[in-house]
Structure 1
Amino acid sequence: MFIEREAHRRIFQIYVILMLSLLIFLVSRWFLGFSSHLERLSAITLFYLTDFFILLLFVRFVDRTIFSEMGFTSKNLAKAIGLGFTASAGYIIMVPFFGIPPAFRIPEVLLLILTCFSVGLTEESFFRGYIQRKMKMVHDETSAVIYTAFLFSAAHIPSYVLGHDAGFLSVLTAVEALRSIAVLGALFGFLHEAVGNIWCVVTAHATWDLYLMLFPPASLDYVQMLLFLALSSLSASGTLGLSIVLAVERRRAPLTVPLKMPPKKPWQETITLNYPTEIRSTTGREMSDFKFCPYCGGSLPQGCFYCPHCGKQIRAPAREKPSPIPPPPPPPPGALTAHLWPGLQRVKPLAERGDDELYERLLKIYVDFYGGRRVLDKKIESYIRSGLTRKEALVKLAMEEKLI
């Protein structure tokens, strides 16, 4: 389908751009050979901010997507930042147990904070803000989060290949680190879906990198490093899971139960008509002329002066049964007419658009608010089963979402 091909093409394009820029940076850093912490941190910050600027240009001018759809919003900002700090607390909890010394002095910490923020902002904008959102257009929410986590872990492979030795323990350490990154990437994805604000995962990612660079496990031996990575991954998974649970509980609507439910009636009550006691005098000629009620068209029994159907008094004889208003003719297949929905002028602008354009605009709304592609397809199928064509179902959904 067109939407699936377009989403996969955009994901491939932005992922290739990210990997090429990462390889260029790693090779240039290997050739230049930065000696001090300040040089390395400045180069990393400049690289990630450049990548973030490239992503903004790609989203704005190539994909033509507004930034709020990526999660850049001020809604629930304080809660999002608080959950982000809670999510990354699992790493710093394990540092005192292993006695890892800090690797930076006080003057360098400010630059380190800026570097970690640029890393978290860029990577989360690429993966959770753009790639995961595009994945949700093709797959369900859980599959989109898992696929994005694998791509997130695969993006770290070049840095481990070029930055570590070829020994067995180095390879084992790199594999364990990539596994931890995949798990954390999946948890970051679920946290982003639960909160709906990208600043939450940006804060969690930035503080995670800050703790990792400020207290690097490289000062430990290989066995302690593997143990530290495994335990920190478990503790971070626990704090991330706690953040996801808190976010879901905050989003869940409170359960309200009325004090007393009204009794349900299994059948409809019969309407009783109260007839007046005084009946006007009528000649036999008038009584023989009454056949049908002139107000509701119901048949009148012989000798009645009030209609038993509508209760109105019969003042003029109804000689013939009024003919019912004929229904409008059915529309031709695939055509849109005014009797389907009120307001022909509202239907015409939507009917002139193509099916793919209407489906793509509806899909963006359903991805952000209703649960994704599967919910939209089910609603379209329900309208088609009710007798509408696919075009009419898309126009009806577009009118419900006010896409005029």
Structure 2
Amino acid sequence: MLDGKTILLGVTGGIAAYKAAVLCSKLVQKGAQVHVIMTESAARFITPLTLQTLSRNPVHTDTFNEEDPAVVAHINLADRADLVLIAPATANSLAKLAAGLADDMLSTTLLATTAPIIAAPAMNVHMYEHPATVANMETLGRRGVRFIDPGTGQLACGYVAKGRLAEPEEIVQAVELYLASRSMLLGKEVVVTAGGTVERFDPVRYLTNDSSGKMGFAIAEAARDLGAQVTLIAARTTAPTPGGVELVQVESAQQMLDAVLSRADSADVVVKAAAVADYRPIIRHETKLKKTGDTLIIEMEKTTDILAELGRRKNGQFLVGFAAETDRLEEHAMDKLQRKNCDLIVANDVTMEGAGFNVDTNAVSIFDRDGLVEALPVLGKRETADRLMRLVADRLAGSAKAGVKL
């Protein structure tokens, strides 16, 4: 998986920087093209010459040391990287990355790259567990940065605790597994819906729901990172739009239906995570309704059930639905899966703390036609999305091997 890959290795200033030499050597032995960026502090623990010799490439330490006038070095490195690996990643480097600081060669390059980033933290246990470090890692995790957990053992400060850099062999294996996962949905077209639809009854008022779009956006990012070509159909959302996907902006349930159906036939996977209105006003007034009495009656009509329509028209697509429930979770989820001809249903109890709308976490249970497949605890929505899309990829691969048309 590393043969011919360009790995950008960031080495920051901790005593574990000495392990970067072995790590660099092992990456090169696996066939990777390794380009090393060292912070000024890292260069006090291990010399750039060591890593230059092992990587067979110049080591970058200074933003202003532009050796090739044809390119801007940090942009060139950022663009060429298939993956950025920070090992060791100190508390300071994680804080700078979380804050978006760019005051040296490594942090500037990290801010410029669109490549996936993996960080292997190494620090004193109290620094690792400090609320600021925990918050920074949570922030970075929501942005898609992956972490290789530090090990427990003798630390340089004398403590025996968690915080030592993972061994080079473990880091290389984690990098290989990550890069392998990025081809799990390679060549597949995935359509994801997200957000809450808006049903207007006059130009300034509408009916909607509490969906933020965060779960759907996380699923789109996860599918993208597994190699899929992703179309994200989004209604009203409060989350930042993910990059690297085709965004189709819609407002109403009807607009979402039209957008989904026009793309479903060519899709391999459709994940309907949007919260779509079940009803809409029959009359949409062209001008603002004036207050004329103590009550207002708005007559509603049922919208087309998008998931049911997708299930009815399904012709080989792998269909994933969502069920936000408040009681009898499994019963309602299984009923919905059967009625709407889904392959998987992802159900959550929105009354549970950490699993409702407008939060960064979720706790879901995934069902197929045989019942519960997996119950995930409260996790970040991105991690939940990763677990879901890996399951989808495994199901697709298993069906392809068995010659099954979904």
Structure with greater Cα Rg: 1
TM-score (norm 2): 0.21
Greater relative contact order (CA < 8 Å, ≥ 6 in sequence):
1
TM-score (norm 1): 0.21
**Higher helix proportion, which one?**
1
